[in-house]
Amino acid sequence: MTGLLTTAKALFQAAVDRADPAKALRAQLASSPLPPLPEGGRNVLLALGKAAIPMMREALVLIPDAKQALAITNSENYTEIPGATVICGAHPVPDETSAAAGMAAIELARSLGPNDRLIALISGGGSALMVAPAPGLTLADKAAMNKLLLASGLEINEMNLIRQQLSETKGGGLLRHAAPAQVQAFILSDVIGDDLRAIASGPTVAPIGTRSQARKIMQRAGLWDRAPEAVRTYLSATEENQDASPPATNTLIGSNRHSLKAMMTAAAEGWNTKLVSHRLVGDVAEAAETVFQAAGSAPLDKPVALIFGGETTVQIRGTGLGGRNQELALRVAKLGAERLSGDWLFLSGGTDGRDGPTDAAGGIATPATWDAIKAAGLDPDALLANNDSYAALKAADALLITGGTGTNVADVQVFLRRPD
């Protein structure tokens, strides 16, 4: 089993390495240099997201004439950068630090003149790290809505559509504050399908939808009556013109698909390697079944490496601690104990190094995991029902711990199996 674990971790690291934000930004600016500014114009840098630190460091090297630089990231990735101001927001649930970050970004954008250029370096996590409630809303309203959304089971695009409608920065809000300055954004995607409107909730892109669409989604998901009154009031107001977002140049420089290709390359020698899905999304229980259907049908004439990528969702029914990758691994451990023989291992991890509000990037499942939880004196079924995947996997020494990676291109999974 040690060999499978080493291989799985190497493939996960290949995914993280391919998403290196500094390398991606360097390659992009080498192939497409920034055009010159009008006389007297200034370059101003704003980095937002879990990859903000490496992107900002690289940008300061590549754009040495930048007059101001602000980086907003999560506390796990915080470090000082000479020549830049670095502040932390909270993730996954925003707090006062996120609001302070939002105000700092708005003030920076508003300071720009018509000859200036805002260079935005955007990566996943920005939705929570930088917040600015829409008029009439408080930070408490935003935080309450974010908690509802994270527990709702909605697809990420639906969650982001709602978030955008409640924000002064999301859905092109940053563009409106920066106008009439130029805006050039370089984006590292953590969204499956790479919809630029959804990455960090699209601060430099036109919004995904409208207030009325947000209302309908919330009503369908049973969230409307549970939302704060101020949110319902705001979303019930007359629609404003949302087609007037100022123009911007948005360039995608990295994504989950690039990382999946890197995993395929890294696993090529000695493995029957297959990219099963780059859209492992939706409910985590259904995703676990998808993984097992692929594992059960794979030919075993030689070792098999099945690769997946995506971002699942968890219906929160309990009070436990965990994340979508940990719960997926725990569910696979349960299915494996019931259905699968032989030598196998499953790893699911967030490329940012953090899964939910925990210190783990994800989880690992083997034929021994489910029984190891029982051997520790715990009931794995009860822990699963309580969404307590962290405690379950910790008891089995099955957590994937990497620390912050400085990047974020959603989640990757690998299922390894040797012939019986």
Q: Could you tell me the residue ranges of all domains in the chain?
A: 20-254, 257-417
Q: Are strands 362-365 and 399-400 parallel, antiparallel or unpaired?
A: antiparallel
What is the model's pTM? 0.78
Instruction: Let me know if 38 is exposed, middle or buried by CB neighbors in 10 A (0-12, 13-18, 19+).
Output: exposed
User: Does residue 1 surpass a pLDDT of 70?
Assistant: no
Q: Are strands 85-89 and 117-122 parallel, antiparallel or unpaired?
A: unpaired
User: Does residue 103 surpass a pLDDT of 90?
Assistant: yes
**Third-level CATH fold of 20-254:** Rossmann fold (3.40.50)
More confident residue, 241 or 348: 348
User: In a 3-state reduction of DSSP, which class is residue 137?
Assistant: coil
Q: What is the mean pLDDT of residues 323-337?
A: 97
Instruction: Let me know if 417 is exposed, middle or buried by CB neighbors in 10 A (0-12, 13-18, 19+).
Output: buried
Nearest to 51, CA basis, from 83, 82, 29, 18: 18
User: Does residue 169 surpass a pLDDT of 70?
Assistant: yes
Q: What is the pLDDT of residues 64-87, one digit of tens each?
A: 999 999 999 999 889 999 999 999
Positions of E strands within 75-165: 85-89, 117-122
CA angle centred on 201, ends 45 and 162, rounded to 5°: 150
What pLDDT is recorded for position 240?
A: 61
Q: 92: how many CB neighbours lie within 10 A of its CB?
A: 17
Q: Do domains 20-254 and 257-417 have the same CATH topology?
A: no
According to CATH, what is the number of the domain 257-417?
3.40.1480.10
User: Does residue 96 surpass a pLDDT of 60?
Assistant: yes
Return the exposure string of 231-240: e unless at least 16 CB atoms fall within 10 Å of the residue's CB, then b: beebbeeeee
pLDDT bucket at 107, cuts 50 / 70 / 90 = very high
What pLDDT is recorded for position 166?
A: 94
Specify whether the CB–CB gap between 123 and 200 falls below 8 A: yes
